[in-house]
Amino acid sequence: MIHEVDEVLRSLFRTDVLAGAQIAVVFDAPTREWAAKVNAPTVNLYLYDIREDMRLRERGLHNEYDARGVVVARRRPPRFFKLSYLITAWTKRPEDEHRLLSSLLTCLLRHESLPSERLTGSLAEIGAAVPMTVALPPPEDRSFADVWSALGGELKPSLDLVVSVPVTESPVYPVGPPVTDEGLRLGFTDHDPQGAAEVPRERAPGGAELPIYGRQPGRPDPAVPDPAGGPEAAGGPEAAGGPEAEPGRGRRRRPGIGRRISEERPG
């Protein structure tokens, strides 16, 4: 991924800026030892920092579809990493260096991202834009003077180019088969599909007897007798002291009590 960005920048500068001039484009660290060996006009693109661009991070998962448009997998969205290049020009005269830097800056300002027609390899397969910025103020946690101090060289006019590269390497999460209506079967848990059990019925206000499917909370099942042995299960309204029962005898007498009382009375 990084080497692909290098090749895009190299081809962009050679075509739009150098135009066949005998100027080399290298990516070496511009140390004091390296500068002592430069004997020809050179443009140096030194990659000095790599860090994630948190402003472009996305959450969630992206769907992957097959030829039928069905989701077959999900994966994390691409994460963008900022590649920071220190661009310098090396000639024998400072005026020539300034002129070369001016041409490089003009070329970079024409593009807000790397030209899509120049992308190759994984950058072209992703199909996403590769944004870039040039000559912005450095972050608060570092300065360009610190970069030159770390390189051991003298401070030199330079351009700071930052390219945000998408990286799609992430785990792939397969999904289950799609839900269809093939083989769909509906039924009720309290009803025997084979017809072995009789379905309970209830008389509607109009007089028709309608089947009852399922259970209603708090309502007794007419097909199941009352386990507590209520009055209805013991003999109807007379046993329960209904309107047809004899006055004063709302409770049912135990069998044999009246007979024993009549036998104990003297004749």
- What is residue 57's predicted lDDT score, i.e. its pLDDT? 79
**Which pair of structure tokens corresponds to residue 158?**
């330079």
pLDDT band at 204 (very low <50, low <70, confident <90, very high): confident
Q: Are 164 and 56 in contact (CB under 8 A)?
A: yes
**Which pair of structure tokens corresponds to residue 89?**
């020009």
Q: Which residue has the higher pLDDT, 29 or 138?
A: 29
Closest CA to 50 of 114, 2, 113: 2
Per the listing, tokens 């059990």 go with 197
Three-state SS at 14: helix
Q: Which residue has the higher pLDDT, 251 or 80?
A: 80
Provide the residue type at 233 as one letter.
Answer: A
Q: Are 83 and 162 in contact (CB under 8 A)?
A: yes
pLDDT band at 155 (very low <50, low <70, confident <90, very high): confident
Q: What is the DSSP letter of 140?
A: T
Average the pLDDT over 235-259 and give the result.
Answer: 50
**Which pair of structure tokens corresponds to residue 41?**
């006009």
Domains of the chain: 2-64+82-170 (3.30.2000)
- What is residue 119's predicted lDDT score, i.e. its pLDDT? 87
**Highest averaged pLDDT of the listed ranges 44-58, 182-196, 209-223:** 44-58
**Which pair of structure tokens corresponds to residue 58?**
């996305």
Q: Which residue has the higher pLDDT, 242 or 112?
A: 112
Burial class (CB in 10 A: 0-12, 13-18, 19+), 40: exposed
